[in-house]
Structure 1
Amino acid sequence: MSRRVLKVNDSAWLYAESHRTPMQVAMLATFAVPEDRPDFVRDLVARWREVREYQPPFNYLLKSAPVPSWKELAPEEIDLDYHFRHSALPRPGSQRELGVLVSRLHSWKMDRRYPLWECHIIEGIKDPDQPGDQWSMYMKVHHSQIDGVGGIRLLKRILSADPAARDMLPPWAVGTHGPDQSGLPAREPAAEPAPRESVSVRSIASAGSAVVGSLGRTYGESLVGSNEVGRAVPFRAPKTIFNGRIHTPRRFATQHYAVDRLKAVSAAIDGSLNDVFLGICGGALRRYLVDAGRLPDDPLIANVPVSVRPGDAPGVGNAITFLYSSLGTDIYDPVVRIKAIQESTRLGKERLPQVGGLAMDAYTAMLMGPFLSQAILGFGGRGRPASNVVISNVPGPNEPRYLDGSRLEEIYPVSLLFNGQALNITAVSYDGEFNIGFTGCRDSIPSLQKIAVHAGEELEALEQALGL
């Protein structure tokens, strides 16, 4: 079978992995059990167990020598019973019990003797605010294979916009190359591209100059301190309780709002929805640290992933770079804080080199090199952190989605942690709702749920301050 060599940026997630820091990303999708099909989950599991078709990355096995690469396996070489698992919560299963189970499932590193994915169907969920029963699908994949944007694009292919669609394939039979089950019309083909210019010494030199210049400014200011107010750079973040050594057990908490509430705030501040999200996170972390008596004088700094994935199709591997932003945790007033965040992200975006493809991969590898080297060598969490927290926002489907007529109610991202980075906050929008997943180290962050609660309080404070 064929092999696919990993990019340097994808390989880094494998080298940085340990039992304390499994490098996996996941989604928790909760669906409504159709009222006319009480045995829906049992029937779905039975049918999916018979599907032995696999698409990338679900048929990829890691081979470390001579260089990290993916070996494509034949269907008979894959043990579906290992990857596909059926669980149930004690009835009536609450959201708390679901969170405890997901926290445990997300704590453990996947076995590299198998393709690096798991799909768990969880039944027995009862939401007191909903009339019927619910079930969830928790699916995790190694971060060397899929990033956040790639994962959401894959989800869009797996779920249908048509509630009447039936006999739908499981995720592993769809993958990045299988049939698109969305039921949505194909996008209009892109305009005919202009003839590609030949790669010249001059074009290579220009891209290299942009990359080196951006890195030089970033790490030069990191060494001596930025002379721009609000400018956030790596390794200038204050040490907090989020930035020590971590352990294997995880905690997971959620929060959600109507997207229209965030849009109203963004319109009032003449900013973006992502500005509002960062402002809410900064306010929530400030409240949490004040309660703990551990708020530093300097503002916390967030590492914000930025997608550079071209087109709309999902793909295997990562297509992201990063910028650093202040979270304004040194500022009491929520409106003043969000204005400071806007200025910080503006400065961060200005530092991104205007390059693509291999040049952007090289920039990201060098930008994250010192941080990932710490993780790979086991030094993370011992010195000054590159940033205090990773915060990401990924747009999801705008319309309701279904799986064999079972409506998707909520979807939450579950992300990864490092030594020195004990908290990750990732959001996904879906059908008018903004869903936030808080993934934390159980031992480093007591009462993680408080951060989710404070996030709700912070949105209310912004609305009140803006007269909304």
Structure 2
Amino acid sequence: METKRLNLVDMAWLNVETEHAPMQVGGLLTFQIPDGAPKDLPRRIVEHYHQFPQAFSPWNHRLRSGALRTVAPEWELLNEIDVEYHFRHSALPAPGGERELGELASRLHSHPLDFRHPPWEAHLIEGLEGNRFAIYIKLHHSLIDGVAGMRQLAKALADDPNDTERPPFWALPPKKRRKRSPDEARPGMYRAVAELMGGAAEQVGSLPGFARVVRSMLKSARSETGTAGLPFSSASSILNSRIQSQRRYATQLYSLAEFRSLAQNAGVTVNDIVLTICGGSLRRYLREIGELPDRPLTAGIPVSVRPADDQEAGNALTFIVANLATDIESTAERLQAVASSTRRAKHELSKLSAAAITQYTVALMAPYVLSLVTGMGGRTRPVFNVTVSNVPGPEGPLYIHGAEMEAFYPTSLVTHGQALNITVHGYADTLGFGFIGCRETLPSMQRLAVYAGETLDELRETYGDRDGGKKDDAAGEPKAASSKKSTAKRRKQTTKSATD
């Protein structure tokens, strides 16, 4: 059977898995069934998908068993999968609302994946109010990173509502299949050693550039006016404690066009707006429960270093650290502090070669991974307080059997020392926020979604368009959209959320 070795980053995600911290990511997609469609359209989709047992990379990767599984793990590449195991049919008691959908997603995301199968599963969930259904998917982070995963999913969705024959995502062959070299056919341990030795010269040559960036980061952090985030520079908080296995999940849906307008008016980026909303939400939430540190929280922001035409599985990510300025009361001032921090972090990263980026990523993440492997996660000072990811998505509407996708809400992972994860996913003219956290560590975590809307309102007051345009009166409230609204009208909503 053909095999494929995991790279070092993929191995790390595999080795830090624990009972209370499964390393899985995914998403919750909602769809509007069109007028005139069969009443049993969800069942027909399931039956259609179950006709495709053949799977391609990475969906056919199963962890190889054996004595070297934890030392030099390899994927076995299966020709077929148990499709009924991987793609399941679920339902909410109709009419299911956003809250009920959030509760189900919380439960599904709490359970670890079974490595006796390729580590992913999907659920088509019918019974949503407003003649809708959802698809929830989760996959192990060692299998693929979020950017590549979303590209794979998007390929399985049609841009034509009349396309009803498209295969599911696991049955789509990759565009390019690279032939394996003789070295790649050798045992995993040999390949790992050869790869490390072969890249040694390049790594050594990049050390001076890496050292310069580290010195620049330290200088900025020590300066009185420095606003750059620095690893291990933030205070410990309730976000960085030990966790349990159960999750709580909340979502918000916003207008991408509005975020772009706010960013342009403020002279910042859309991601700065996202981070400021997250910082404002965290400030309110932690102050309410009496856990707001005096020093600002920091965010670890994954940055994709995957080329646009790269179809490979695995992970291709590095991180920058940004200041969330949670010690600043004014939302407008907080935005400028966040923007200053991200500009500096991206500027420093741009100086690095590919080899130096590898060194930077290892230097940044090694203490975090080591703390998880040794069981010290949540007991030492955090590298950063919270992970905030912003994943770009398809720019046009997508369909399954004529049902239009309304929104994509991401789900991510939490670990000991990182009890909260905030991920944002773009789709068409929307940004879907997914807040996922440890149920026991963060009481009433769904309030983060509400406070995100309140922070957005404050940004609107300062940087909103002055043309008298109306905004949703219910912005930030965790409620379901009216079932009488069409998909187009749903898209124009300022916000929508599913909370548990």
Decide whether the 8 Å contact of 2:386 with 2:418 is kept in 1. yes
Deviation of 1:426 (Å): 0.6
Tell me the SS of whatever aligns to 2:54: coil
Q: Is the 8 A contact 1:103 1:251 kept in 2?
A: yes
With over 3 angstroms needed to count, the CA separation of the structure-2 counterparts of 1:254 and 1:112, relative to structure 1, is same
| Structure 2: tracts of 5 or more residues without a match | 178-197, 466-500
Deviations 1:81-140 (A, max 9, x none): 22121111011111111111110110111111111110111111114xxxxx11111111
TM norm structure 1: 0.89
Question: Structure 1 counterpart of 2:157, which letter?
Answer: L
Percent identity of the aligned residues?
A: 41
Looking at structure 1, the residues matched to 168 and 323 of structure 2 have their Cα atoms a distance apart, in angstroms, of: 41
Secondary structure of 2:147's aligned partner? helix
Opposite residue 447 of structure 1, the aligned amino acid is S
| Matching residue's letter, 1:439 | I
How far the C-alpha of 1:269 sits from its partner, in A, is 1.3
Q: Report the Cα offset of residue 178 of structure 1.
A: 9.0
Q: State the partner residue of 1:194.
A: none
Q: How does 1:43-122 map to 2 (within 5 A)?
A: 43-63=44-64, 64=69, 67-75=72-80, 78-122=81-125
**Cα pair distance change 1:140/1:37, threshold 3 Å:** same
Q: Does the 8 A contact of 2:56 with 2:79 survive in 1?
A: no
* 1-structure distance, mates of 2:336, 2:47: 53
1:73 CA drift (Å): 1.4
Q: Deviations over 1:376-420 (max 9, x none)?
A: 111011122111110010111111001121111111100001101
| Mean CA deviation greater in 165-174 or 447-456 | 165-174
- Tell me how far 1:290 sits from its aligned partner: 1.8
Does 1:326 pair with 2:331?
no
Tell me how far 1:315 sits from its aligned partner: 2.5
Partners in 1 of 2:9 and 2:200 — Cα distance?
A: 24
Q: 1:385 to 1:66 in 2, by over 3 A?
A: closer
340-349 or 275-284, which deviates more = 340-349
**Secondary structure of the structure 2 residue equivalent to 1:416:** coil
Partner residue of 2:419 out of 417, 422, 431: 422
Change (3 A) 1:48 1:380: same
Aligned equivalent of 1:448: 445
Q: What letter corresponds to residue 27 of structure 2 in structure 1?
A: M
Two-structure CA RMSD over aligned residues (Å) = 2.3
Query: Which amino acid in 2 is paired with 1:49?
Result: H
Contact 1:154 1:175 (8 Å CA) reproduced: no
Which letter maps to 2:56? Q
Please report how far the alpha carbon of residue 21 of structure 1 lies from its aligned counterpart in structure 2 after TM superposition: 0.6
Cα distance change on mapping 1:297 and 1:176 into 2, 3 Å: farther
- In structure 1, runs of 5+ residues without a counterpart are 128-132, 180-198
Once residues 440 and 314 of structure 2 are traced to their aligned partners in structure 1, the CA distance between those partners, rounded to angstroms, is 31
Deviation, 1:353, is 5.8
CA contact (8 A) 1:30 1:410 kept: yes
SS of match in other structure, 2:52:
coil
Question: Which is worse superposed, 93-102 or 304-313?
Answer: 304-313
Alignment match of 1:372 (pick from 349, 369, 372): 369
CA contact 1:83–1:118 (8 Å) conserved in 2: yes
The answer to which of 381-390 and 319-328 deviates more is: 381-390
| Number of equivalenced pairs | 440
Q: 1:229 to 1:170 in 2, by over 3 A?
A: same
Relative distance call for 1:21 and 1:177 in structure 2 (3 A) is farther
Taking structure 1 as reference, are residues 176 and 368 closer, same or farther at Cα in structure 2, changes over 3 Å only? Answer: farther
Partner in structure 2 of residue 287 of structure 1: 284
Q: Which residue of 2 aligns with 1:168?
A: 166
C-alpha contact 1:90 1:124 (8 A) present in aligned 2: yes
Shift of 1:337: 0.6
Cα separation, 1, equivalents of 2:205 and 2:284: 45
In structure 1, what is the equivalent of residue 337 of structure 2? 340
Distance 1:200 1:73 in 2: 31
1:191-202 mapped onto 2 (5 Å cutoff): none
1:187 aligned partner: none
The equivalent residue for 1:40 is 41
